[in-house]
Structure 1
Amino acid sequence: MFNDDFNSPSRERQVLSVSQLNRRAKQLLETHLPLIWVEGEISNIARPSSGHWYFTLKDDNAQVRCAMFRGRNQQVRFQPQQGQQVLVRARVSLYENRGDYQLIAEHMEEAGHGALQRAFEALKEKLLQEGLFDEARKRPLPALPQHIGVITSGTGAAIRDILTVLKRRFPSIPVTLLPVPVQGKEAAPAIVQAFELANRAGLFDVLIVGRGGGSLEDLWPFNEEMVARAIVSSEVPVVSAVGHEVDFTIADFVADLRAPTPSAAAELVVPDASEWLGQFRGYAQRLTQLMQRRLRAEHQHAQHLGKRLRHPGERLQQQSQRLDGLELRLNQIMRQRLASAHQRVASLAARQKAQRPEPRLRQWRLQVEQQRERLNRQMQQTLKQQRQRLGEAGRMLQSVSPLNTLERGYAIVHGEAGEVIRDAAQVKAGDRIRTRVAKGEILSRVEG
């Protein structure tokens, strides 16, 4: 017998509204589906005044609605166009108001080879405007480097080609490999780190950076801006050797020198030892010829001097005669100077005798005694005058002294603050006053 549980009165029904249904569906989608990457063609793109983007991604068989909010789409490096193929990183969600299933895009980039090419051209133009491609800022390579650094893969053909050429052309120059990955996401940061290490080491006179040929995607690490700026910032001259002769990368444009291949880079950084040996042989022959010529000239000069050379005995006789003459002149000069000194001493003695100090001292003593007597007389007279003036001043002071007034029965009244009372209005009943008389003071209180 058929049992209809759905219609059974014993089972309670759970009824959802449309809003509840859409909310649950949205939560289910956002919870169980992580961030995903979707590639498709843009259609029906709209950019309202809010700054958000709304568009549809489609392929040959299906389509899905998408939204990209303003905070995210401001980070997109290009303006998406109708019909453009893009790669989107998004969350799966649902627009509750309409029940539409949609993608919330968080990142967008151009898809395929064309995107890489446009990114290459954009970075090339940016660095060109900054002047990083100017020949004036590029440095010459050393004529004979003392140490060469190579930044490339340790297992690729590029390092084998470089080492083969360096060993053939100038095997005595030391070479150090700084191994890095040369493709993939890890390549660009590793290359930048290798440049920093090479510059900190301070060992190298020139650096070669590069790899063998490949597709644009394979060579892309050498088109990264961080690698370009690491090359520009290097204190050591850099030779870029990326790919084949037809391949050009951003690293080629900013490097101090671009080599078409890794082998060509090795040819450019060191001279040919055989050519140098040939030059050295030429220098040795020229040096030998110059030395022989100089020896002949010195030999001729020595012969000429030998002819001019006289016997030492003759030179000694001449020097002996000269010494005798100098001795005679010295004795004569000494006698003359001694006679002159005697005359000066006699003259000074006579002057000293004529200027004996005893008479002058007696004269000075007499003058001092006379001045002392004059000074005593003037002091006595001055003291007498000052005593007279002092007496007169005392008598005048005594005549005007308030104490004399007090002796005649008068008094001086002072208030509580010490001020002199000249008017009865200065005090009131109850104030204390102090009255000075000829002998002593009287303290009293005002009654009225």
Structure 2
Amino acid sequence: MQTELPRLYVYTVSELTRQIKAVIEGTFPPVWVEGEISDYVHHGALGHRYFTLKDGESRIRCVMWRWLADRLRFVPRDGLWVLAYGELTVYERGGRHQLMVSHLHPTGVGELWRSLEQLKQRLAEEGLFLEERKRPLPPFPERIGVVTSPDGAVIWDIAKVVARRAPWVEVVLCPVKVQGEGAAEEIASGIERINAHGEADLLIVGRGGGSAEDLWAFNEEVVVRAVARSRIPVISAVGHEVDVTLTDLAADRRAPTPSAAAEMAVPDRAELANWVCSLRGRLGDAIEGFIRDVEGQVAALRDAHPLRQVPDRMLQYSQEVDELRRRLGNALGYTMEGKSKELTALRGRLKALSPGAAMARGFSVVRKLPEGRLVKDVGELKPGDRVEVYFARGRVVCEVLYISKK
């Protein structure tokens, strides 16, 4: 005999889900949950983050809205152990409970570095860090590409050193993010763009110092592979001397600082001048030695027995030696004079194109205080703002009183 079940009220699926949502959200206060991230997704269009936290037995879906996730000081990834704080809620359309995360902190630093070591070992096995694949830097580059942030001090340090040591060298900036979400992809894309441009002789990739999390983009596989694929020799200048990233291992040369990278990249003009003087002396010595050898051969021929009866022939040889000495001396003088004039003209042209020369002609660089951001348009300022103005010699701090866009 079949038992008749009571039918007091029949819920729709939506009503039941809403009831469950009300119970869960009304019962549980915000909680801390520890687990391993998996199925991590960064929604490209909206910027929200979706992932699963799991341990050995269970898992729970999580969501972190963009305005909260953009504050993170690290890049979440699968396999990373974290401590998440948030509210339990129910996603009604999917009928599942989830944690709406407001704070996220890495707890598995050991796990993070273990993943880094695994990546390092895998790339090393592929030969990306071998010394024999590293290329020499060009001795006299004409154009240097720099992949870094446009707002930091790195590009200014590099440009200043290059202008002092080799003012004829052009510095081309490819601006990218150097930390945070999407930084690794931007850095890799910047390296590829400089290579595609095809006119740079040397590439510097780097940023200033920071924490391990700040520098983490330079440990990402996409950046390391972009450096290894580069047709242009690469100098890595990431952080300070104690900081070593996978990008440093894959680059052709590693510099302890961006300023040191610039010194590696270009020769010093004073050293070049000394080198040219040394070459001039060696060339003169070589010519003198050649003339002495010819004179010796002539003297030997003159003293030979079969030629003793033809002194007039010896006089002709002597005259030819004098003529050769005169012609070689003239050729050396004309060549050195011409090259000296070309070098002087080239220095003058390149000096006129340098950033320092532009500032000496009355141009200046303006940075907004207190953040020190470079001002590129008057629309970025408003009355009352404080700015720092750099001249060719010195700087001043000013307050904006009036703005005109004409």
- Asked if residue 158 in structure 1 is aligned to residue 154 in structure 2, the reply is yes
Structure 1 vs Structure 2: percent identity of aligned residues? 39
- 1:204 is aligned, of 197, 200, 216, to 200
CA-CA distance at 1:42 after TM superposition: 4.6
CA-CA distance at 1:68 after TM superposition: 6.0
Partner of 1:445: none
What is the alpha-carbon distance in structure 2 between the residues aligned to residue 273 and residue 162 of structure 1?
A: 16
Aligned partners of 1:66 and 1:105 also within 8 Å: no
CA-CA distance at 1:221 after TM superposition: 1.6
- 1:143 is aligned, of 139, 143, 153, to 139
CA deviation string 1:293-349 (max 9, x = no partner): 4456667878969722899xxxxxxxxxxxxxxxxxxxxxxxxxxxxxxxxxxxxxx
CA-CA distance at 1:186 after TM superposition: 3.4
- Asked if residue 123 in structure 1 is aligned to residue 114 in structure 2, the reply is no
- Asked if residue 291 in structure 1 is aligned to residue 284 in structure 2, the reply is no
- Asked if residue 271 in structure 1 is aligned to residue 276 in structure 2, the reply is no
Aligned partners of 1:66 and 1:103 also within 8 Å: no
Partner of 2:312: 307
What is the alpha-carbon distance in structure 2 between the residues aligned to residue 139 and residue 19 of structure 1?
A: 70
Paired AA for residue 266 in structure 1: A
Partner of 1:93: 90
Paired AA for residue 185 in structure 1: E
User: CA 1:53 to 1:174, structure 2 compared with 1: closer, same or farther past 3 Å?
Assistant: closer
CA-CA distance at 1:22 after TM superposition: 4.0
What is the alpha-carbon distance in structure 1 between the residues aligned to residue 176 and residue 249 of structure 2?
A: 21
Paired residues, what number? 262
What is the alpha-carbon distance in structure 2 between the residues aligned to residue 310 and residue 135 of structure 1?
A: 62
Q: Which secondary structure state, in structure 1, belongs to the residue aligned with residue 215 of structure 2?
A: helix
Aligned partners of 1:25 and 1:94 also within 8 Å: no
Aligned partners of 2:142 and 2:168 also within 8 Å: no
Q: Which secondary structure state, in structure 2, belongs to the residue aligned with residue 151 of structure 1?
A: strand
Partner of 1:132: 128
Partner of 2:235: 239
Paired AA for residue 308 in structure 1: R
- Asked if residue 40 in structure 1 is aligned to residue 33 in structure 2, the reply is yes
Partner of 1:336: none
CA-CA distance at 1:27 after TM superposition: 6.7
User: CA 1:128 to 1:276, structure 2 compared with 1: closer, same or farther past 3 Å?
Assistant: same
Higher relative contact order (CA 8 A, sep 6+): 2
Aligned partners of 1:142 and 1:205 also within 8 Å: yes
Partner of 1:111: 106
Aligned partners of 1:219 and 1:243 also within 8 Å: yes
- 1:220 is aligned, of 216, 219, 222, to 216
CA-CA distance at 1:152 after TM superposition: 1.1
CA deviation string 1:393-446 (max 9, x = no partner): xxxxxxxxxxxxxxxxxxxxxxxxxxxxxxxxxxxxxxxxxxxxxxxxxxxxxx
User: CA 1:198 to 1:300, structure 2 compared with 1: closer, same or farther past 3 Å?
Assistant: same
User: CA 1:173 to 1:23, structure 2 compared with 1: closer, same or farther past 3 Å?
Assistant: closer
User: CA 1:276 to 1:19, structure 2 compared with 1: closer, same or farther past 3 Å?
Assistant: same
- Asked if residue 25 in structure 1 is aligned to residue 30 in structure 2, the reply is no
- Please list every run of 5 or more consecutive structure 1 residues that lacks an aligned counterpart in the other structure: 1-13, 44-51, 58-64, 70-75, 312-448
User: CA 1:90 to 1:197, structure 2 compared with 1: closer, same or farther past 3 Å?
Assistant: farther
User: CA 1:22 to 1:144, structure 2 compared with 1: closer, same or farther past 3 Å?
Assistant: same
Choose 213-222 or 236-245, whichever is displaced more.
213-222
What is the alpha-carbon distance in structure 2 between the residues aligned to residue 301 and residue 136 of structure 1?
A: 49
Partner of 1:375: none
Paired AA for residue 151 in structure 2: T
CA deviation string 1:196-219 (max 9, x = no partner): 111111112211100110112211
Paired AA for residue 89 in structure 2: V
Q: Which secondary structure state, in structure 2, belongs to the residue aligned with residue 239 of structure 1?
A: strand
Q: Which secondary structure state, in structure 1, belongs to the residue aligned with residue 169 of structure 2?
A: coil
Aligned partners of 2:61 and 2:97 also within 8 Å: no
Instruction: State the TM-score, normalized to the length of structure 2.
Output: 0.53
> Could you say which structure has the higher helix fraction?
1
Partner of 1:406: none
CA-CA distance at 1:86 after TM superposition: 3.9
User: CA 1:29 to 1:136, structure 2 compared with 1: closer, same or farther past 3 Å?
Assistant: farther
What is the alpha-carbon distance in structure 2 between the residues aligned to residue 168 and residue 178 of structure 1?
A: 22
Partner of 1:72: none
User: CA 1:24 to 1:176, structure 2 compared with 1: closer, same or farther past 3 Å?
Assistant: closer
Aligned partners of 1:39 and 1:85 also within 8 Å: no
- Please list every run of 5 or more consecutive structure 2 residues that lacks an aligned counterpart in the other structure: 1-6, 37-51, 63-76, 303-309, 317-406
Paired AA for residue 41 in structure 1: E
Aligned partners of 1:55 and 1:67 also within 8 Å: no
Aligned partners of 2:35 and 2:54 also within 8 Å: no
- 1:53-68 matches, cutoff 5 A: 67=60
User: CA 1:112 to 1:306, structure 2 compared with 1: closer, same or farther past 3 Å?
Assistant: farther
What is the alpha-carbon distance in structure 1 between the residues aligned to residue 189 and residue 91 of structure 2?
A: 44
Aligned partners of 2:145 and 2:194 also within 8 Å: yes
User: CA 1:254 to 1:310, structure 2 compared with 1: closer, same or farther past 3 Å?
Assistant: closer
Paired AA for residue 257 in structure 1: R
Paired AA for residue 140 in structure 2: L
